[in-house]
Amino acid sequence: MTNETPKLSKHTLTMSARMERLIRIYNRLRRGPVTIEIIKHWTDSVGIEVSSRQLYRDLITLQSLQIAEGENVVEFVDEKNRKTWKLEYEDGLENISQYDINSFFLLKNFAPATIVQQRRASINKFEQIIYKAFSKSKYQQFIQANELYLHRTNFFAQLYDEAEHQLIEDYIWALHNNRMIVIESVGINSANMHVTESDFPLALQPMQLVFHRGRTYMAGFNNMEKLIIFPIDRNTRFHLTNTKFNRKNLTDSFHEKMGLLFGISDPIDDQVYDIEIEYTKAYGESWMRYFWHHSQQWRQLENGNYMLHLQCSIGRELVGFLGYGLDKIKVHRPQLLKDMLVEKAQRMVDLHEQDLPIDEQEANKMY
């Protein structure tokens, strides 16, 4: 006699694989409705090798099964004879509009990749909860567009991995508990904070986690109540402390100082400037649709161009902002900003015409 394990037949293996696939498809339905195109896109993305024809048969099978009490797979056919399958919960709510549903999918699909990519599993959990609550609403009506045709380019989005997200978790803890952190070193200084190596370790009273131009930033005060802003970055090192600080006493000052910045870059001085920048008509009409600063005011001139009025500080980010415009913008005032822009433009011309080496210190000396 032998103790060999009996081999499963090919038919048994096929049935087992199909049952596993059916369960995975059913769990996908817990997130929201699907068409054949949506479910095929999903199976391809998770490595399930199955044809569209077989997926159709699988969905028909799931309609006839009662996998969980109080849950039913339902098929809908729209005016173009396109079929959609969704999971309905008998205790689901119904008071949600198509506008509400589209709003959720816009949030889901257009949220910054910086945040979404590493937190997809967490977001999927909330999607299941939301869908379960409102499964009897018309989720299926625009599901094809909402699942497959909303796209973000991820242009200018910093690519985060687990290291950055662990820093975010730690920083949120410090924010919630009003605890100081100690920054040991920073990887990048994209806000151009005026600090040197001798300033570290740097004690920070964290006031906000700020999302700006594809990155998240720690923003708060040092012990001298200087505004400090550093990006969350894998090469930044900080540790948590149990030292509490009084957030209430700092809040007004923090909002005032943040409100004076153009963007988040450290200003060149403590002055608030009256700034006027002229834009060509078409360029101005494009840029005036954006938010740049809470003080912004646009006025059309007699020549058809637009004048942008700002009251804010001057820093590297403002000069870079103006650099986008090239010869489609003109600084009217203050003279200081005009001089900075001329100097920076001349420096760029010299670099290319004379084939000069680029130098970080030289590039930042005016800021």
As beta bridge partners, residue 74 has 86
Is 265 domain-assigned?
A: no
- For 88, counting Cβ atoms within 10 Å of its Cβ (0-12 exposed, 13-18 middle, 19+ buried), the class is middle
Flag whether pLDDT at 10 surpasses 70. no
Q: What is the mean pLDDT of residues 202-214?
A: 97
d(CA 20, CA 147): 24
Which region among 146-155, 298-307, 329-338 has the lowest average model confidence (pLDDT)?
A: 146-155
Q: How confident is the model at residue 94 (pLDDT cuts 50, 70, 90)?
A: low
Nearest Cα to Cα of residue 340 among 313, 312, 309, 366 = 366
Summary mean pLDDT of the chain: 92
Statement to judge: residues 133 and 175 lie in one domain: no
Read off the pLDDT of residues 97-108 as tens digits, 9 standing for 90 and up: 889 889 999 999
Is 8 domain-assigned?
A: no
Statement to judge: residues 110 and 140 lie in one domain: yes
Is 9 domain-assigned?
A: no
Residue 221 sits in a domain of what CATH number? 2.30.30
In the prediction, which pLDDT does 155 show? 93
Residue at which a domain ends, from 99, 114, 148 = 148
- 303's CB contacts (< 8 A; 6+ apart) are none
Domain range for 294 = 273-364
Is 5 domain-assigned?
A: no
Read off the pLDDT of residues 229-277 as tens digits, 9 standing for 90 and up: 999 999 999 999 999 999 999 999 999 999 999 999 999 999 999 999 9
Flag whether pLDDT at 6 surpasses 60. no
Read off the pLDDT of residues 299-311 as tens digits, 9 standing for 90 and up: 999 999 999 999 9
Statement to judge: residues 115 and 32 lie in one domain: yes
Residue at which a domain ends, from 148, 174, 203 = 148
Is 155 domain-assigned?
A: no
d(CA 19, CA 58): 10
- 38's CB contacts (< 8 A; 6+ apart) are 143, 144, 147, 148
pTM above 0.85, yes or no: no
d(CA 220, CA 175): 10
How many separate domains does the chain show? 3
Is 67 domain-assigned?
A: yes
